[in-house]
Structures are given as structure tokens and as C-alpha cells.
């Protein structure tokens, strides 16, 4: 095991979204690649917005993605004693102080500063007063008044912040609750996190956090700030662009391996390679190849990649994954040769498991519903003769093989004088209800003699029952 320790610290204020999942993935991959450790921490100090349902949704999404954590989950709301201890440390060492300025007063000083064109920050009224703790006092961090704080970011390069622009920001409110930029640092220090990969919406927080490390004399972690994921119009990905929650993609029938493959490519590259298995990602992932430009989330690309992953997944695995989707279509399917045969015919044409389940319905259906257009075009009088001929040919066969099916169709072609297409299309509609399906021979082999004959006879009956048929209805 290396000493790399990464973390994912979601705030449980909603489902796990695409951007958050990518952050989790990068940290997880880096930990796996380096044989390090990946820590999960739930940042639930915002009690008004945090919910148990969101916590559960985050766990569920991470589990689906196969991102398993080595340590945690920690919950910030269970760690207040630790934060208090560090707060006292900072106050005693003179790096933080109690401040009794009212929020109105602070607002007024900010407004005044803005009028003179200065940075709107706290003016340090209580900074050197050494005030004792009182009910109305907040704790402020004593930011340096000069010099610079340099963020050496593995993705963005060096970013220089002027310390005199940094506020003496509040690290603990008067009600005793510590603030975000403080608890994050205390958690990262006490959890020995040494590599922080996160969205670049946190860049402006980073100097504030770095100053706490310095005040506590703790070495800084490695930082990498990754550009946000964008929607097709190049604005930050949001609901306007379609589904943003990870579990929505699970429900749409994406494979977790395809989804992580797509996520990783939204901000990391390895030459021109697009397709990666999970193992390949673990092997190849590096911080150096995280890109500086924002990735654009493209549903079509995700679908194409999912189709490729479906093709690369063993049929038995697909069977296990497909069964719940079939259930949603009202089909109770079991693992075994039948479903595996079904899947083999659908793999080349399926972009998602949901699509595959829909296309599999005819294999399982007790009665075939004909698509209106398909029946109108192909189940008509002209089809009666070849269908009846085929029924007669198939009845003579004990088992179906590719060879004897071909012979049976050829015999019908010869006797009827029709081309294969003229025979195959009505047969296809009879067997599947549709005009597009996997190959006819494959279907016939899978559904077997009894069902095939039953469906062909039903199609003949259907044609005969039509009012415009040859006088029989």
C-alpha cells in the first residue's frame, strides 16, 4: 500500500450528480492506481439542507458505480468535538480570535470599502483585542496582512493569491457551529488526506484552507482542481440539459463500467483512446493527464460508449443485469441458455439495457401484438401461401439448425417462386410483431418449434380473419 490517501466529501443535499460522480471517480481511481486509500466523508453540517435520503442516494449511486471506499463514511455532524479542539488550538496560538462585531456592522464596513474601491472585507476591528468567548462572539481566522499564498495546482499550475485580499473569515459562528472552510481542513488533516482532487468551483476557497494548514504547521496536500462538467451549450451541466443524477443513468440502462468510462473521459485522457475497461482505467489513471479544459457532457457519445461496453460484456453478466429491466417490462426472466441466446441476438443492436429489454419482449410474450403498420404491410393475402408452405416445411423438422432452416426457406422460395425477402418479412412480423428484429433464423432457433409454429399459424389466422381477405371473413 502506498501512502496516497484521497477522499470524496459530498454534501448530502440531493442526489449524486454527474460532476460529483466524476470527482469521486478521479479520487477513487488515483487511490486504486497508487494502491493507496480512498475515504468517504459526508459533509452534513448544513443541517437545514442535509437529508438522510440524500445520504442514502449517494451511497446507492457510488455502489452502482463500483466506487467502494476504504474508510468511512465519516459524518461531520459526529465530529464537532474534534473541530472544537482545533478551534481552541488556533485561538491559543493567536491564529484566530473572538469577534463581537454585529453582522450589520460588518456589512457597513464592507459597503464602505467598496465605495473606496477596496476589497469588501472585515476591517479587523476585533483582531488585536484578545476578546474572551461570549454568546454573541464569532471566531475569525487571522489571515496574514501581506505576502502571497501560492496554490500549486497539479491541473491548473500555480495560482497566486495576495494575502491582503483575503478576509479574516469566520471559522465558527456565534452558535458554536464551525464553518465549511475550517472543518474541511480539520477533517483532511485528521484523516491524513494528502491528495485533494475536486471541482474548480473550490479554487477560491483553497487559499483560505491553505492558511489553516500553515497556522497548524501541517504540510499541504497535493491539490488538483478539475474544470466543471458542461452541458451542450457550454454552460455548467444542470437539469436543463437532461438527467444529471447518476441513478437516472442506471435506470436508463447504462452499464456502470460504461458510465465511469464516459465520466473519466470528461476530464482525463490517455492519447486518443476512448474505450477503457475498469481495470485499464485503474492501471492508466494519472493526475498528469487531467485536462485543463472543461468536458462537455454529450448523451450521444455516452450512448455509443455504452453500446461498445455492452458488446464487450460477457453474456452471462448481461443476463444478470438485464433481468431487472425485463421485470419492468412485465417479464419474469430467469438466467440460463434461453436468455443468453436472446441477449446474443440483441447485443449488436442495443445501446442500453432498457432498449435491450424492450426489444426482448417478443421472445417472452404469450401473444404477439402486431405493430399496426407492420401488419398492414406484410400480413396480407399474398403472404398466406409462403406462410402455409413454411409451416408445412417446419412441421417435418424435429430440431432446428441453421442448415435445415435454410433448406426449409429455400424450399419455400422454390415452390412459391418468391424471393427470400418476400417470405422473411411476413415471417418476421408473425414472430416478432415488428418489421425490424434480429435475424429470422436466430429468432427461430431460440424460440423453438412449438412457439414458431404457433405464431405462424396465428398470423395465417389473422390474415384469414381480415375483412378484405379472400372471402373467408
Number of residues assigned to the chain: 473
- Does position 127 interact with ligand GLU (CB under 6 A)? The reply is no
CB of 290 to ligand GLU, least distance (A): 15
- β-pairing, 157-162 vs 148-153, is antiparallel
The residue (of 11 and 51) whose beta carbon lies closer to ligand GLU is 11
Q: At what angle do helices 420-432 and 440-465 cross, to 10 degrees?
A: 80
Is 239 labeled as catalytic in the residue annotation? yes
CA distance 143 to 208: 8
> From the candidates 239, 327, 373, 415, which is the catalytic residue?
239
What is the contact mask toward ligand GLU in residues 13 to 52, using x (rule: CB under 6 A)?
Answer: ------------------------------x---------
CA distance 413 to 423: 8
| 246-to-180, 279, 295 alpha-carbon distances in Å | 25, 21, 17
With CB under 6 A as the contact rule, which of the stretches 9-17, 80-88, 252-260, 297-305 interacts with ligand GLU?
9-17
Distant-in-sequence, close-in-space partners of 235: CB < 8 Å, separation ≥ 6: none
Select from 17, 198, 428, 455 the one that contacts ligand GLU (CB under 6 A): 198
DSSP sequence for 320-354: HHHHHHHHHTT----SSHHHHHHHHHHGGG-SSHH
The residue (of 9 and 256) whose beta carbon lies closer to ligand GLU is 9
CB of 5 to ligand GLU, least distance (A): 14
Kindly provide the residue ranges of all beta strands, DSSP E only, lying in 154-217, ordered along the sequence: 157-162, 170-172, 195-199
With CB under 6 A as the contact rule, which of the stretches 7-15, 272-280, 347-355, 453-461 interacts with ligand GLU?
7-15
CB of 22 to ligand GLU, least distance (A): 12
CB of 14 to ligand GLU, least distance (A): 10
CB of 228 to ligand GLU, least distance (A): 11
The residue (of 202 and 422) whose beta carbon lies closer to ligand GLU is 202
Burial 236-260 (b: 16+ CB within 10 A, else e): ebeeebeebbbbebbebbbbbbbbb
CA distance 180 to 11: 11
Q: CB-based burial of residue 45 (10 Å sphere; 0-12 exposed, 13-18 middle, 19+ buried)?
A: buried
With CB under 6 A as the contact rule, which of the stretches 5-13, 123-131, 274-282, 458-466 interacts with ligand GLU?
5-13
Select from 184, 260, 302, 307 the one that contacts ligand GLU (CB under 6 A): 184
Select from 4, 6, 10, 307 the one that contacts ligand GLU (CB under 6 A): 10
Distant-in-sequence, close-in-space partners of 48: CB < 8 Å, separation ≥ 6: none
Count of residues near ligand GLU by CB under 6 A: 7
Residues forming the site for ligand GLU (CB under 6 A):
9-11, 43, 184, 198, 202
The residues assigned a catalytic role are 239
Amino acid at each position: 500500500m502506498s501512502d496516497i490517501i484521497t477522499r470524496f466529501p459530498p454534501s448530502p443535499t440531493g442526489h449524486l450528480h454527474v460532476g460529483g460522480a466524476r470527482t469521486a471517480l478521479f479520487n477513487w481511481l488515483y487511490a486504486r492506481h497508487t494502491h493507496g486509500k480512498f475515504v468517504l466523508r459526508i459533509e452534513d453540517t448544513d443541517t437545514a439542507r442535509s437529508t438522510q435520503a440524500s445520504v442514502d442516494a449517494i451511497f446507492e449511486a457510488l455502489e452502482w458505480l463500483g466506487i467502494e471506499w476504504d474508510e468511512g463514511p465519516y459524518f461531520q455532524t459526529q465530529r464537532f468535538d474534534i473541530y472544537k479542539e482545533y478551534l481552541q488550538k488556533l485561538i491559543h496560538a493567536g491564529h484566530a480570535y473572538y469577534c463581537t462585531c454585529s453582522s450589520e456592522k460588518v456589512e457597513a464596513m464592507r459597503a464602505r470599502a467598496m465605495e473606496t474601491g477596496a476589497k469588501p472585507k472585515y476591517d479587523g476591528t476585533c483582531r488585536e483585542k484578545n476578546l474572551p468567548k461570549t454568546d454573541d462572539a464569532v471566531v475569525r481566522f487571522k489571515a496574514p496582512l501581506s505576502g502571497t499564498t501560492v496554490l500549486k495546482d497539479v491541473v491548473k499550475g500555480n495560482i497566486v493569491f495576495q494575502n491582503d485580499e483575503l478576509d479574516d473569515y469566520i471559522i465558527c459562528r456565534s452558535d458554536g457551529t464551525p464553518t465549511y472552510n475550517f472543518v474541511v481542513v480539520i477533517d483532511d488533516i485528521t484523516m491524513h488526506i494528502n491528495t485533494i482532487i475536486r471541482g474548480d468551483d473550490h479554487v477560491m476557497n483553497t487559499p483560505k484552507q491553505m492558511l489553516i494548514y500553515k497556522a497548524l504547521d501541517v504540510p499541504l496536500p497535493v491539490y488538483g482542481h478539475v474544470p466543471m462538467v458542461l452541458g451542450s451549450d457550454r454552460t455548467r451541466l444542470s437539469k436543463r440539459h437532461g438527467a444529471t443524477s447518476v441513478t437516472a443513468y442506471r435506470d436508463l440502462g447504462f452499464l456502470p463500467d460504461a458510465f465511469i468510462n464516459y465520466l473519466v473521459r470528461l476530464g482525463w485522457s490517455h492519447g486518443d483512446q476512448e474505450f477503457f475497461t475498469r481495470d485499464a482505467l485503474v492501471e492508466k489513471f494519472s493526475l498528469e493527464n487531467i485536462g485543463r479544459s472543461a468536458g462537455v457532457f454529450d448523451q450521444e457519445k455516452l450512448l455509443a460508449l455504452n453500446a461498445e461496453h455492452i458488446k464487450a460484456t460477457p453474456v452471462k453478466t448481461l443476463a444478470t443485469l438485464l433481468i431487472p429491466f425485463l421485470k419492468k417490462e412485465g417479464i419474469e426472466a430467469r438466467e440460463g441458455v434461453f436468455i443468453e441466446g436472446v441477449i446474443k441476438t440483441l447485443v449488436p443492436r442495443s445501446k442500453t439495457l432498457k432498449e435491450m429489454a424492450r426489444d426482448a419482449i417478443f421472445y417472452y410474450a404469450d401473444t404477439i401484438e402486431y405493430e399496426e403498420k407492420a401488419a398492414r404491410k406484410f400480413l396480407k393475402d399474398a403472404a398466406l401461401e409462403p406462410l402455409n408452405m413454411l409451416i408445412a416445411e417446419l412441421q417435418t423438422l424435429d430440431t432446428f439448425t441453421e442448415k435445415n432452416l435454410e433448406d426449409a426457406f429455400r424450399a419455400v422460395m422454390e415452390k412459391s417462386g418468391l424471393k427470400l425477402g418476400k417470405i422473411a418479412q411476413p415471417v418476421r412480423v408473425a414472430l416478432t410483431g415488428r418489421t425490424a428484429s434480429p435475424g429470422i433464423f436466430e429468432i427461430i432457433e431460440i424460440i423453438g418449434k412449438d412457439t414458431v409454429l404457433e405464431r405462424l399459424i396465428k398470423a395465417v389466422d389473422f390474415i384469414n380473419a381480415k375483412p378484405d381477405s379472400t372471402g373467408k371473413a
